[in-house]
Amino acid sequence: MSVLQQVLANKEAEVLSAWIAEQASDRTLQKGGSKSDALKEQSAELLGALREGVQQGNGEDIQAPGWTRTREILTDISAHLIKRGLTPAEVATFVFSLKRPLFQLVQTATAKTPEVLANELWTTNQLLDRLGLFITEVALESREKTISRQQTEMLELSTPVVKLWDGILALPLIGTLDSERTQIVMENLLQEIVRTGAGLAIIDITGVPTVDTLVAQHLLKTVAAARLMGAECIISGIRPQIASTIVHLGVDLGDVSTKATLADAFAVALRKLHLMVARMPHSGTSTE
């Protein structure tokens, strides 16, 4: 039985209380909630798993089946600490804070045999370094996932139908049109056309970063459906690079009217309703 194994088996309570004290005095881990019961419980669980892992032998390969439980607990702890705003490097200090308490107990247990001491300290150190690296990697991975999910969510379509004038609706599309929600947004527009009896709808795609066949198909379908309900659509916000790309792609917008900007489209819509915008005659004293 190795000394580390003995320490973990016989002095578990001692190790735990020393470790928790160590965590509580660490500024980084305080941010991670080292004084909370959640982290204390996870620490106790981890010690139990470590004991099992060391018992089953090979501390050199923490990917081995004997370390499954340890890896699972470390993954949970990593998620917990990342959520509390710790960086992956800070997450690793959780594992490293176990070094001092463990080393001290290993040292006490081998006080009479210095040659064993050096050896035991080395293997204990190696094991904790491996676990520290492992938790860092897990933390990095989960952080990357969070970031890419946030980016994707940010790009999700957020879209109210707005009334610009009596009979003129606008749908300013912002974000990507890949998700199922696009369908809902388009249906919303059609419902508003019915509800308000609007004869003109401007679909503005200034905020849509990429117009590919899927986007084009959504637009064409919406325009066709609106037409069946007696409303005409104008697509606005087609930037030059998008116009050129649509042409190369081979998408035929047919007789759908398009305008470069929402303002242009609004002007067209007003004209169709025989409305005009006029400058107010000067009130007050003349300056001419």
Ligand X SMILES: Nc1ncnc2c1ncn2[C@@H]1O[C@H](COP(=O)(O)OP(=O)(O)OP(=O)(O)O)[C@@H](O)[C@H]1O
Burial (CB < 10 A; 0-12, 13-18, 19+), residue 232, is middle
214 counts as binding ligand X under rule CB under 6 A: yes
Work out how close the CB of 215 gets to other proteins at its nearest, in angstroms, rounded to a whole number: 9
- Closest C-alpha among 29, 144, 39 to residue 92: 29
Cα–Cα distances in angstroms (integers) from residue 249 to residues 174, 185, 208, in the given order: 22, 25, 17
Residue 137's binding partner out of other proteins, ligand X, none, with CB under 5 to 8 Å set by partner kind: none
Reading the block at residue 268, the tokens are: 């067209």
Q: Rule CB under 8 A: which residues touch other proteins?
A: 148, 151-152, 155, 176, 178-179, 209-214, 216-217, 240-242, 244-245, 248-251
Residue 179's binding partner out of ligand X, other proteins, none, with CB under 5 to 8 Å set by partner kind: other proteins
Work out how close the CB of 240 gets to ligand X at its nearest, in angstroms, rounded to a whole number: 23
**C-alpha span between 129 and 23 (Å, rounded):** 17
Q: List the 168-174 sheet strands across, edge first.
A: 162-165, 168-174, 200-207, 232-236, 257-259
Work out how close the CB of 246 gets to other proteins at its nearest, in angstroms, rounded to a whole number: 9
Selected from 213, 230, 243, 273, the binder of ligand X by CB under 6 A is 213
Residue 152's binding partner out of other proteins, ligand X, none, with CB under 5 to 8 Å set by partner kind: other proteins
Instruction: Pick the closer one to ligand X by CB: 38 or 214.
Output: 214
Residue 126's binding partner out of other proteins, ligand X, none, with CB under 5 to 8 Å set by partner kind: none
Contact mark string toward ligand X, 99..138, x via CB under 6 A: ----------------------------------------
Q: How far apart are the first and last CA of the chain?
A: 104
**C-alpha span between 158 and 176 (Å, rounded):** 10
Instruction: Pick the closer one to ligand X by CB: 40 or 218.
Output: 218
Q: Residue 25, SS3?
A: coil
Q: Which residues bind ligand X (CB under 6 A)?
A: 213-214
